[in-house]
Chain A
Amino acid sequence: MDELLLEQKAQAIRRDIIEMLYRCQSGHPGGSLSCVEILMALYYEVAHVDPTNPSWEMRDRIVLSKGHGCPALYAILADKGFFPRNDLWNLRQIGSHLQGHPDMRKTPGIDVSTGSLGQGASVAVGLALAAKYKRAPYHVYVVLGDGEIQEGMVWEATMSAAHYKLDNLIFILDHNGLQIDGTNDQVMSLGDIIGKFHSFGFECKKVDGHNVDMLVKAISEPVPGKPLFVLAETVKGRGISFMENNVGWHGKPMKTEEYTQAMCELKGTQNV
Chain B
Amino acid sequence: MFESKSLRVAYGEALAELGSIDQKVVVLDADLSYATMTSIFASKFPDRFFNFGLAEANMMGAAAGFAHSGLLPFVSTFALFGVGRAYEQIRNSIAYPNANVKFGLSHSGLSVGEDGASHQSIEDIALMRVLPGMTILVPCDPFETRKAVFAAASLDGPVYIRVARPIVEVITNEDSTFTIGKANIMRKPGDVCIVATGLMVKEALAAAERLSLHGIKAGVINMHTIKPIDAELILEMASQCRAMVTAEEHSIIGGLGSAVAEVLVGKSNIKFARVGIQDKFGRSGKPEDLFKAYGLTADDIAQQCIMLLE
Contact = CB atoms under 8 A, between A and B. Distances in A.
Interface of A: 57, 103-105, 111-113, 115-116, 118-131, 133-134, 152-153, 156-157, 159-160, 163-164
Contacts of B57: 118, 122, 152-153, 156
Interface string B61-78: 111111111110100000
B61 A121 contact: yes
Contacts of A119: 61, 89, 92-93
Contact of B66 (A57, A129, A164): A129
A121 B59 CA distance: 11
A132 to B, nearest CB: 10
A105 B97 contact: yes
A120 B88 CA distance: 13
10 contacts: A111-B68, A116-B92, A126-B66, A129-B50, A129-B65, A130-B26, A130-B65, A130-B68, A157-B58, A159-B55
Contacts of A116: 88, 92-93
Given A113-B92, A133-B47, 12 more contacts: A105-B98, A111-B68, A119-B92, A122-B58, A122-B93, A123-B62, A123-B68, A127-B66, A133-B26, A134-B69, A156-B58, A159-B55
Best-surrounded residue of A57, A125, A128 (most CB of chain B within 10 A)? A125
A122 B90 CA distance: 12
Given A156-B57, A157-B58, A159-B55, A124 B69 contact: no
Interface in B87-121: 88-89, 92-93, 96-98
A126 B55 contact: no
Contacts of A113: 92-93, 96-97
Best-surrounded residue of A104, A123, A134, A159 (most CB of chain B within 10 A)? A123
Contacts of B47: 133
Nearest to B60: A122
Best-surrounded residue of B47, B55, B61, B67 (most CB of chain A within 10 A)? B61
A50 to B, nearest CB: 17
Nearest to B96: A113
A104 B68 CA distance: 10
Contacts of B93: 113, 116, 119, 122-123
B234 to A, nearest CB: 32
A121 B67 CA distance: 15
A74 B172 CA distance: 53
Given A113-B96, A115-B92, A153 B66 contact: no
B48 interface: yes
Counting from the closest, the 3 A-B pairs by CB-CB distance are A126-B65, A122-B61, A130-B69
Contacts of B50: 129, 164
A267 to B, nearest CB: 39
B53 interface: yes
A120 to B, nearest CB: 8
Contact of A104 (B53, B58, B62, B97): B97
B92 A122 contact: no
Nearest to A138: B69
Contact of A122 (B62, B67, B70): B62
Nearest to A103: B97
B71 A133 contact: yes
